[in-house]
Structure 1
């Protein structure tokens, strides 16, 4: 490995997954149905008419998957807990068989010296709570806080960090704004109200976990991007400002400033959320860390049809522009606007049209993507942004939500028919990159 990028000696290197995308075992050992189980029952919702019933069968193969992580030399593993596996109805009785699975997973990670980073919610709300209003109901925020309290009580001393939510923007806008994700609602006003209840649930969960007194660092994971005008026209600049306000600032301002951005509130008009007294006090509970997921930028054009970016690096298999410098620009912008805690890059990676040929997967496009984004990350850190770690998305090819199994984000190829895992070229590159960083660590520690 000859890459010249050098990160700090205590920098964390990890990989990430989520429960519904890899676990399978959809009805095993007392697990209840989630909104994604329900959403997948209508094949029209998923592009390849698939579901998450088996996925990567991680529920049975977790030991092998942890050994895979160890073979890459990662420090840390970010994963989510399936709420319905440990509390099938989202309230009431706890399912000990579900908690036992996560205890076994933590045991395996501990055996290999891999630090667990737990996410409480990665989009798989218990269907029983959805039947009672889901995230449109304030009561769901309180049920989420109860769930967070119990998980922190049981595992708060065994995990490095606990994130409340992963990408609440997606839950609100894709799940309730355009019906692209579960539960399949298409209503702008509902999406905006859901976003507030998600933020409220985050704050209440933070308070509940703090009350437990567990040593895990507590935070939230937000998907974020810069919003760039396609031209210097006033219309494009206004559109870019609004996009940033109703996406990034819409979640960051309540957490760090105790209010919603005025520009977005004016744009929402009568669809603005109902906010109760004391909500922002809860939402503003201090974070120990902020998780940032970055994949691409927003390119804002008021023209019809919209002007498209002239991307020198092309696009991923999701059709997302490859724009690594946007990560530098985003982190510097956040640093200028907010009093930030330490940051983890909790997701970064690309979907690629990978093929297994002669027992190998040559995904050099992914290697280039990751290398460029790591260079962009290091550039932001050199300008004063505190970033404590990087989690590559994803360890495994998996169920990619409404895209089904057609899109592959993993650095490990999964043959879904046989469940055989094959490390791609990117996995071996990442292994060697981490090893080179460790050599730098050793040199620094002996100077």
Structure 2
């Protein structure tokens, strides 16, 4: 499940953020009669179609894995989680329909009506992601049901189900906002990095400048907003999941005020190789100069998460996010002062690396969230050992899934590289399988 989610989440980010970026460049092309922007929108739409097709496969695998790998979760809690999963499926179909209309609507629909096809497509991507995040947020903030523990021969039961309350649980809005903004960071830096790589190779035409600037603007805004949302989300942990916060901060004992502990590992019950900044931990984690962070020594050992994995993943996420924030602010400050960093090869090299760094930050964020909740699948209700399947045949299914994901990764790389080469060679009209024939020039002029 970790492999599948870690792979699929990157494609989910493109489903959330890419349609908005395509809308911006397409609208610019219509309003300003800019052929460069229109060409960029057309290319990005085809890339989006490839990623959507691959995401459909990985999403289908995930839907099967929910039932196969987590019978202890989906059995008793299926009625609780069914609503967001149903909405996610509907959102997927809506997104697919309008993506198809948008792809095949070039030169066949009035320009502004064609542009509007991106709006339901973008909304559907956001709604689908919200539904999936709502399930994860519910695991962290379980509500909307009554859990009756097992007694004697009577198995545990889930009663008084309120799926709407479960879907719109106490933590869903901040967790979704964190994911939504993170998607724009990832996609913005990844797409900008592609054009930064082209600029490093001497392609400094209007196409590459616009292709870099638009996603970099989105990534810059997201990198500024993300620490604020993350801070608000983290403030809830002291009350809702103190063991996760203790692992984040590597707090072995309760300290008031708590230091900010940079680096370090917990080895044989002792923190080693850490650098402490006094009081800053309380300020960041509790919004207070005096409130402490509950220590791991107050939490039973069997209820503690894997501390080192949680701590390292959290700090890597924060470190990369801070680095990207500084880079984005520095770029726009320098541009405001009249210096264009897109002519600086060192900055372009960093922009190329920023995309993979954003991916690592997003993956580490999910590792911190999921591993930090352990040993619970549903916080304080269902332990992971009771939720997961114990079938001996799972290793075979894992091997098959691994081969499928490797194949999709290689296939996506080959297809996208082939498309890029043909575009550079001047072949703009890439054929689409089962698509309608391209409109003739006389038909385009009539429209």
What TM-score comes out, normalization by structure 2 length? 0.27
More strand by share: 1
More helix by share: 2
What TM-score comes out, normalization by structure 1 length? 0.27
| Structure showing greater Rg | 2
